[in-house]
Amino acid sequence: MRVKLITAIIFLSAILLNSCNKNNRVSGTYAAQSVMLPIFNGCCTSTEVLQLNNDHTFNIYHQNDQGDYLTKEFTSGNYNLKQDVISFKPDTLNKHYDYSKVKYKIPASNDPVFFLIKQDHEPQKFYKIDFKKADSLYIGRYNLNDWDRESITIKKDGTVHYVRHSQDKNMNPIDISKRKKLTQKQFQHYIETLSQSNLFQPEKTSKTYSITFSLAFKEYNIGIHDQNNIDKKLYDFFFETVKTWVK
């Protein structure tokens, strides 16, 4: 009897461990982008960023850029992984996409998970983003009251370029341009902050600044862009932490 009990405990522990490993296997940030060619004045792209968290919650950011107009949609809730298929239970209904009906599949040979396949009327490949592979990150802001402008650009090699254009009280221009190579510890902090952030949020990031964000990946052929809906914690990290690293 005791042997059977121990065997049962070991069996149940293996099931739980396997379940945890699967959930950890899919957690991360995924992105897909479709582009209508030829591109004219930035038109037209559809970008979707999916974040699967370890606690079974998810966040989805969808941007549809048609050149003369742009729409953004945000969805969050809980996800479930069963037999390599991810399904969603959104907190709220989305205007154009009902994610309760959307499923993502993990291809059988995809271990570790490098991409997911969205099971839509046209299956779409979502790459799992490795933020260390970002060729460049740009975030810029300008003050809506005095036109003070700042920007931070970070390259894949850890080089940071900080730029500021402003004026003194006599309206004389002040131009600052500084470059620095991040230390290994700083670069790791930057990657971890990106990986753990939501990237975007439904609420406007700032009432004082207009903010532009851009993240480019040549390997995935994806460029993620946004204006004024950057995750507030991520925004603060760049202009409160990274900025001090350069200055």
Query: What rounded mean pLDDT belongs to the chain?
Result: 86
What would the mean pLDDT of 192-205 be, rounded to a whole number? 95
Read off the pLDDT band of 14 (50, 70, 90).
Answer: very low
Would the pLDDT of 113 be above 50?
yes
Closest CA to 55 of 70, 76, 34: 76
pLDDT tens digits, 36-77: 655 555 568 899 999 999 999 999 999 988 877 889 999 999
pLDDT tens digits, 232-247: 999 999 999 999 999 7
Read off the pTM. 0.84
Would the pLDDT of 15 be above 50?
no
Taking the C-alpha atoms of residue 164 and residue 147, their distance in angstroms, rounded to an integer, is 11
> Phi/psi of residue 186, each to 5°?
-65, -45
Q: List residues bridging with 227 in a β-sheet.
A: 212
What would the mean pLDDT of 212-226 be, rounded to a whole number? 95
How many C-alpha atoms does 121 have within 13 Å on its Cβ side?
1
Would the pLDDT of 23 be above 70?
no
Say if residues 158 and 131 touch (Cβ distance below 8 Å). no
Would the pLDDT of 88 be above 90?
yes
**Helix (H) and strand (E) counts in the chain:** 4, 14
How many C-alpha atoms does 192 have within 13 Å on its Cβ side?
6
Would the pLDDT of 11 be above 60?
no
Read off the pLDDT band of 2 (50, 70, 90).
Answer: low
Exposure letters 165-181 (e unless 16+ CB within 10 A, then b): ebeeeeeeeeeeeeeee
Q: Give the type of residue at 61.
A: Y
What would the mean pLDDT of 76-99 be, rounded to a whole number? 86
